[in-house]
Amino acid sequence: MLNKIEHNLLTMQVYDSEPLFILVSDTMRDCKEATIELILSSLLRLIELGFSECIRKEGEDEQGSWKPCNTLTIKDLTKRFEGQSETEKLKYPSHTNEYYFRITEAGRKEERKSIYDSYYT
């Protein structure tokens, strides 16, 4: 069973892939107990469980191709926020190679389980 932060992150990916900064800022808004460290480790757990996957656009322009992030680590995700103030961490990034996360079919099945309807509402 997923914890509240993991379920929140998975629900946010149901309709579209979501950039890391949106997942972090919205989860911090929706889950009062959330910290960046908890969110990042939750994203990695969702990937390990096969419920989510990470993709990243290669290249600096809009025509870059999307590639899976097969070797993503907590260090990679933490590095994304290095040297930023708390306000900057939640703003649209100034770079174009943001991490994006999208739900897998297994994640869709998990997200729809009725146990979460009563558990987190």
Q: What angle do CA 65, 66, 70 make, to 5 degrees?
A: 135
Can you give the pLDDT at residue 49? 96
pLDDT by residue, tens only, the chain of 121 residues: 899 899 999 999 988 889 998 899 899 899 999 999 999 999 999 999 999 999 987 665 556 678 898 889 999 988 887 877 777 766 666 556 688 999 999 999 998 887 766 665 5
Residue 54, φ and ψ in degrees, nearest 5: -105, 135
Nearest to 90 by CA among 32, 19, 31: 19
Q: Structural domains in the chain? A: 4-119 (1.10.10.10)
Q: Compute the half-sphere exposure of residue 20: CA atoms within 13 Å on the CB side of its CA.
A: 29
- pLDDT score for 42: 96
pLDDT at 40: 96
